[in-house]
Structure 1
């Protein structure tokens, strides 16, 4: 559900600008004083120079923006239109939120011809009010901190406290990447994506990062981000950590304590991909832990991962995630596969995840493949996952499998360990009548109240 599909689902900078001489191509780095006008002038000069430029910010300075760029009212600084390196040296660039008169704008926009390398810089307090990559229909908001339409490399930086909010569709609380991007050794934390409208079936996607890619994220931390939607609009809050609509690679990255919330709607996964994304999402190493998808009177799907396109996950710790839906449906505490999803899981630890639905239906504490998707799982540890539903239905502590409306769902297991999981029925595995589920050398034991249910539906599994 990218901005390209949303129609279906649904001043001056403070102070006087001080001109600085434009640096010559390949000139030495420009030292930018601790002054917003100096920073604005330096970016304008670099945009106008024929070659790459490096701007070195004042050590640990805080550049406080109080008004947007006159030519681009949705963005605080001039649009990056050339090859520019910003070496922050520990500096912060933030929207000054003191007082009620400060307008809302993101911090940085990389234009289609731009190439930004951002290092050792904190980007904070941005508030997206437009969506530069998708100007029609109006009202979309993308990229609260940074929106990249060109090329972008963010290294050893912090993207924090930014917001993308819209009453049409919102995407990318911290970073929105329709261009080509990379994020490495960077913390993306406490960013928010919010759908605030009243239309039925819209959404908020990518609390930390939204990608229309390609994008690579390595050795980074995506923590404490949120995706929320207006209650009772049947809208989608998804990808509180990262949402992918294109080729995405995530390596050795910690994704934790993010939250998707949709009362009377759909809360879908901290790590999610679109329907259907043209590129594969690949996650290697790192962890996806302690994230929550919460949908009271709605549907919570895949608190850790929700896959509805192409995805490969290997060597990842997926633990402590919670899909919660009081009086609703909660499925896939750890991982959920959607109807269009093809997911390969290898050598992961899927432990201590929970699907919980008081007064409703909860299925798939560790893994959930209910709607006709394809799941292949090899050599995973699927341990201590739980499904609970007081006064409701609780099935499939380790795995819930069904074929979907067309009965086409397929789950292939090989050499996995599925032990000490718990549910009301099918503590290890619950298999619905439709679809195909096969075991090959899997260790299914010590689950409560039983290993597989209904009895005899999973060849090779007893008790």
Structure 2
């Protein structure tokens, strides 16, 4: 659907008790887990349909160290059935991907309104929606709940939210990496890694937003827009590129809070670390450093009436300046121009030559 996770009797008894104590609790009345053989796509789709229909949380266990390759979509835009119920999919070094040989474009997962998807130790990769105004190359969450635990969202593509698109829903990432996702080079593009919009809430604890790209758009790592809220705790945002907001860009009354996080080595025309427009950002015990802008806001670009608050945080060693306009971020100072070293303007990576099929 298109839309605009020893020996001895006594000793043995104690050992068994300890082992059971560390297993995850299973809710009373929960259905037995559905186990899916390695790369059995039909069984995977059937398992999702069964989990969707379950009166309790539907649990699916995938094969360890296995890649499930989707060669064709299940519906118009999604590789797997839409998530309409409460579905948990658990793997171990397990990948679900759009196969390199697939001839049609599709994302991997779509959580619709009221649905909940939890992915545990799963890599989602290769999702691709190459046309303009497409959303969520890896996963789209539309007014639902998406939980990503110890997972990886890698190498996906869409116009908005190359990795993940969260429209008005709840997005929770725990020790999860979003890397090497990209926006298309057509249409209104933003959020190479994650696009959080329309009062959506994003909470990320641990993990990283790394090397995501928005070649002709904004928010290389994260685009936070339209009264959306993003809380990043102990997160690394690095190596991302975009026109505005190489690491993070927010606008239209977005609310951002960074705690014990680092924004580094991002590149943009303006606002290489953070581009903050008509929005509010609070940085607590965080660091913005070694980001490079071609024009201004090497660390933070914060035009009025936007507001950035630094609490035990530093914005240092960014090029050509730390914060722009000068004085717009209390506690952020720029180097003395008389002692500044002039560096050549960095070049954004050239967009890849477009040779993608059109649907």
Partner Cα distance (2:315, 2:298) in 1: 9
Partner Cα distance (1:206, 1:164) in 2: 18
Partner Cα distance (1:387, 1:319) in 2: 14
Query: Could you say what secondary structure the match of 1:267 adopts?
Result: coil
Q: Which residue of 2 aligns with 1:303?
A: 220
Residues 224 and 250, structure 2, Cα contact 8 Å, conserved in 1: yes
Q: Which residue of 2 aligns with 1:350?
A: 263
Residues 133 and 188, structure 2, Cα contact 8 Å, conserved in 1: no
Residues 135 and 160, structure 2, Cα contact 8 Å, conserved in 1: yes
Partner Cα distance (1:211, 1:341) in 2: 18
Q: Deviations over 1:263-320 (max 9, x none)?
A: 353233311212233xx2101111111111111xxxx111011111111111111111
Residues 36 and 61, structure 2, Cα contact 8 Å, conserved in 1: no
Residues 123 and 145, structure 1, Cα contact 8 Å, conserved in 2: no
Partner Cα distance (1:55, 1:315) in 2: 34
Are 1:119 and 2:61 an aligned pair? yes
Give the alignment of 1:427-442 within 5 angstroms: 427-431=321-325, 437-440=328-331
Q: Deviations over 1:199-230 (max 9, x none)?
A: xxx61111111113212111111111111xxx
Structure 1 residues without counterparts, runs of 5 or longer = 7-49, 66-74, 84-109, 131-140, 167-171, 196-201, 228-236, 324-329, 356-361, 389-393, 452-463
- With over 3 angstroms needed to count, the CA separation of the structure-2 counterparts of 1:337 and 1:119, relative to structure 1, is same
- With over 3 angstroms needed to count, the CA separation of the structure-2 counterparts of 1:183 and 1:78, relative to structure 1, is closer
Q: Which residue of 2 aligns with 1:409?
A: 306
Q: Which residue of 2 aligns with 1:284?
A: 205
Residues 272 and 306, structure 1, Cα contact 8 Å, conserved in 2: yes
Partner Cα distance (1:55, 1:378) in 2: 43
Give the alignment of 1:149-168 within 5 angstroms: 149-156=84-91, 157-161=94-98
Q: Which residue of 2 aligns with 1:10?
A: none
1:294 to 215, 222, 226: 215
- With over 3 angstroms needed to count, the CA separation of the structure-2 counterparts of 1:51 and 1:430, relative to structure 1, is closer
Are 1:243 and 2:165 an aligned pair? yes
Residues 401 and 437, structure 1, Cα contact 8 Å, conserved in 2: yes
Structure 2 residues without counterparts, runs of 5 or longer = 5-28, 342-359
Partner Cα distance (2:81, 2:260) in 1: 34
Residues 417 and 444, structure 1, Cα contact 8 Å, conserved in 2: no
Query: Could you say what secondary structure the match of 1:239 adopts?
Result: coil
- With over 3 angstroms needed to count, the CA separation of the structure-2 counterparts of 1:445 and 1:251, relative to structure 1, is farther
- With over 3 angstroms needed to count, the CA separation of the structure-2 counterparts of 1:450 and 1:192, relative to structure 1, is same
Q: Which residue of 2 aligns with 1:358?
A: none
Partner Cα distance (1:215, 1:116) in 2: 15
Q: Which residue of 2 aligns with 1:209?
A: 139
CA RMSD of aligned residues (A): 3.2
Residues 165 and 194, structure 1, Cα contact 8 Å, conserved in 2: no
Query: Could you say what secondary structure the match of 2:318 adopts?
Result: coil
Partner Cα distance (1:286, 1:260) in 2: 21
- With over 3 angstroms needed to count, the CA separation of the structure-2 counterparts of 1:176 and 1:373, relative to structure 1, is same
Residues 264 and 291, structure 2, Cα contact 8 Å, conserved in 1: yes
Identify the structure with bigger relative contact order (alpha carbons < 8 Å, sequence gap 6+).
2
- With over 3 angstroms needed to count, the CA separation of the structure-2 counterparts of 1:151 and 1:410, relative to structure 1, is same
- With over 3 angstroms needed to count, the CA separation of the structure-2 counterparts of 1:81 and 1:187, relative to structure 1, is closer
Q: CA deviation at 1:244?
A: 1.2
Are 1:221 and 2:152 an aligned pair? yes
Q: CA deviation at 1:120?
A: 2.2
Structure (1/2) with the larger helix percentage: 2
Residues 190 and 226, structure 1, Cα contact 8 Å, conserved in 2: yes
TM-score calculated relative to the size of structure 1: 0.59
Give the alignment of 1:257-276 within 5 angstroms: 257-263=180-186, 265-276=188-199
Q: Which residue of 1 aligns with 2:276?
A: 369
Partner Cα distance (2:96, 2:69) in 1: 6
Query: Could you say what secondary structure the match of 2:129 adopts?
Result: strand
